[in-house]
Amino acid sequence: MALFSLQNNLFPLPMLTAPTPSSTKTFPSVTSRRDVIFGSSLVLLNSTPVSLAQPVPDDDELQQQEDHLVQLFQDTSLSVVFIKDLELTKVPKSSSKVDMLNEDEDAKLEGTGSGFIWDKFGHIVFLVDAKGNSFYREGKIIGFDQAYDLAVLKVDVDGYDIKPVVLGQSNNLRVGQSCFAIGNPYGYENTLTTGVVSGLGREIPSPNGRAIRGAIQTDATINAGNSGGPLIDSYGHVIGVNTATFTRKGTGVSSGVNFAIPIDTVIRTVPYLIVYGTPYSNRF
């Protein structure tokens, strides 16, 4: 029996029982060959020397950039939740005792992951290996989609003022623009990593063996426990859901080639799961 607890900076969420969330996936190293042909011709385009030096930002500009990043994290991290995968060693006699579990005595920590608040109704988006119906005391898994490794939990938020994420777009992303990942790698809560959009339109494997198309590639570090956390842009808008990383062969260390499910795909999938639940094709 698995038990999840979700936590964020805003309020403690109830203990949850749910399928084990998928840890950050790792892919074997891939080596490709690129043949480069150098031409022998030299074309003089402009006789005026061109300086490649970039202007150095002054102290005020640097401070503004730093303050913006700090504020970006503080605002977005309120919407990110920490998922603990707990295996019960002592099954409570009644569900009313679930909230009083002693993690040291009654449960064993199997893993950690990330998720984020989707709306004011308490829907939580995260990644999970879908295994069927599981319930926890004050909510349940609404649905999951193996094609995109997305799942939705519903928690009881009556009396709590929660902050959903701000959704962005992924169809207008550009390679080179800044992006930021927030999650809980290796159990370290609310970790921020920075990078750029390294590539677009990638394909990565899904839990059902098919390809997730249109994935975002980034060099913002994603490690075990980041899965399900948001990838955001410079405005704090969610542009993807962190999901996978390549690792250096034999090391288990991220190579800097990381992936996120594009938010346009998530926006099409999550509302369907909330309204209709798990698609029939994904139940078996």
Catalytic residue among 23, 79, 114, 123: 123
Report in angstroms the alpha-carbon separations of 14 from 7, 76, 92, 132, 184: 8, 21, 15, 21, 18
Torsion of CA 167, 244, 115, 214, to 10 degrees: 30
> Are the C-beta atoms of 282 and 144 separated by less than 8 Å?
yes
* Residue-level pLDDT at 157: 87
* Residue-level pLDDT at 121: 93
219-250 pLDDT, tens digit per residue, is 999 888 888 999 999 999 999 999 878 776 66
Catalytic residue among 227, 233, 254, 264: 227
**Rounded Cα–Cα distance for residues 186 and 227 (Å):** 11
Whether 123 is catalytic is yes
* Structure-token match 């994603």, residue found: 222
Task: Enter the pTM of the model.
Answer: 0.72
Residues contacting 241, CB < 8 A, separation 6+: 125, 127, 150, 228, 229, 230, 231, 260, 261, 263, 266
Amino acid at position 161, single letter = D
In a 3-state reduction of DSSP, which class is residue 144?
A: strand
* CATH 2.40.10 holds for 2-24+74-164: yes
Its sign, for the CA torsion 222, 225, 228, 231, is negative
* Residue-level pLDDT at 107: 45
> Are the C-beta atoms of 264 and 169 separated by less than 8 Å?
yes
Residues contacting 164, CB < 8 A, separation 6+: 79, 117, 118, 119, 120
As a CATH number, domain 165-269 is 2.40.10.10
- Give the domain ranges of the chain: 2-24+74-164, 165-269
120-161 pLDDT, tens digit per residue, is 999 999 886 533 333 333 447 788 888 888 989 888 888 888
* Residue-level pLDDT at 233: 97
Whether 68 is catalytic is no
Catalytic residue among 5, 23, 145, 149: 149
Whether 58 is catalytic is no
Q: Do domains 2-24+74-164 and 165-269 have the same CATH topology?
A: yes
